[in-house]
Structure 1
Amino acid sequence: MARVSFLGLGVMGFPMAGHLAAKGHEVTVWNRTASKGTAWAEKHGGRAAPTAREAALGAEFVMACVGNDDDLRAVCTGSDGAFAGMEAGAIFVDHTTVSAAVTRELAGIAQSAGLGFVDAPVSGGQAGAENGQLSVMCGGGAEDYAHAEPVIAGYAKICKLMGPSGAGQLTKMCNQIAIAGLVQGLSESLHFAEKAGLSISEVVEVISQGAAGSWQMQNRYKTIEENRFDFGFAVDWMRKDLGICLSTADENGASLPVTALVDQFYKEVQHMGGGRWDTSSLIARLRR
């Protein structure tokens, strides 16, 4: 069992930190909104700290799951940042989806301070976090990864080292690119079924057993049918992620025409007031 700090207690971080406590790790948490830290400690035991630096004091592993590049820099650096409280040899594990550039930047700062750094973005959404069934794609040094993997296993169904620093984030980009196209295809399929007078449930029962089947189909068709988009990963966050994908594609020369198009469709959903709807809400723009 390890001394672990967890920074960021949103819909993902709150249950992820809870799994670590349930596994017997000694967990200290921090959240920008202090009341969430207090609520977590009341539910799971452990301790809530007032700053990221204080949460990291004495921790062997510091895990983070925050919002974006700027949020990650803020919790890592500065006098109240986690790096200031970590001891040499401790390992920072970042579960935030951010750019590979900020990952490499912070990994370099960590290395200069004698700290380990593993970028470890996750896939599986809120349900995956709550059930401890996340897919975790990692970048960093092999030794740091080997030390961190048994802790990450507390909420992972698969965890794999993909390469050096930034490789985990690049793999997460592949994940988001694939999801964007899948959700748009599913939305068009179910929209077509509605227009054709077919039962969505019956259509999915049949086509999900063949080549059209997907996680998105199995887990989202019912809420799509009911026009409910209050479960899962928010459109605002998806657009943030797709922006990272498209920016990185500009740098490496990858062609992402479908991703760019779906990003604009999500922009339309935002303009409809759906920024906090989940990503399956793409069908809403077709139903207008």
Structure 2
Amino acid sequence: MSVSRQIKALTPPDIAAQKGQAPIVCLTAYTTPMAQQLDEHCDVVLVGDSVGMVMHGLPSTLEVTLDMMVMHGKAVRRGLQKALLVVDMPFGSYEESPQQAFKNAAHLMRETGCAAVKLEGGVHMAGTIEFLVARGIPVMAHIGLTPQGVNGFGGYKVQGRGAAADKLRADAKAVAAAGAFAVVLEKVPAELAEDITKAISIPSIGIGASAACDGQILVVDDMLGIFTQFKPKFVKRYAQLGELTGDAVKAYAEEVRTRAFPEPQHTFKS
């Protein structure tokens, strides 16, 4: 009689303990099949609010709702056994007050089964992070280019150059002191990202930052070449699935129009 081995899911403390150890592998996912593909290889799977642009065709993340995050969070949860599931808190769901943040974070965790939430902001969000952590909600922070603040930045620009570097250092130290178990550094100069990584006690997760970060994250549809509307400099395409999909659909359309499909092996006899 065979005994199935139960897989232990990673936890926020497990990820925090990887500081300075083997690099932490993180990718996004929005669906069950993709989550199943990522689970074996990733330490963290994030349901990012990038889902609005990648899956729903929205112009930015600002129109993403809590209900959308719940729907995709549930789907990804069904596909994971090992990886830590983190779900983004969408724009407008946490900025008003720590109490608002707790209510919506608790809702996300209860509905999706995620183990942690991610929110954007540094010094000005430290109080909210501390409030959530004290009430049992693990938080991954996100500083540097924070897409929900794109209008204030005037576009998707590199953050932390020149005199602005000190602000990012302060943001990183503030979220670490507030109890975040990790922090995403997005579109930050490599030297600054390396300095921040050395200066804080929690793992840094780079996206357009430095290979010296404690881990890396990309939008999976970007790195697979599925989402091709634009390609940030920091994205490496590990496949061209968008092109393969186009070729496959073209071949299907031609076979349907010439009645080459379906063939006898694809049909049923009476």
TM-score (norm 2): 0.32
TM-score by length of 1: 0.31
Greater RCO, CA 8 A, separation 6+? 2
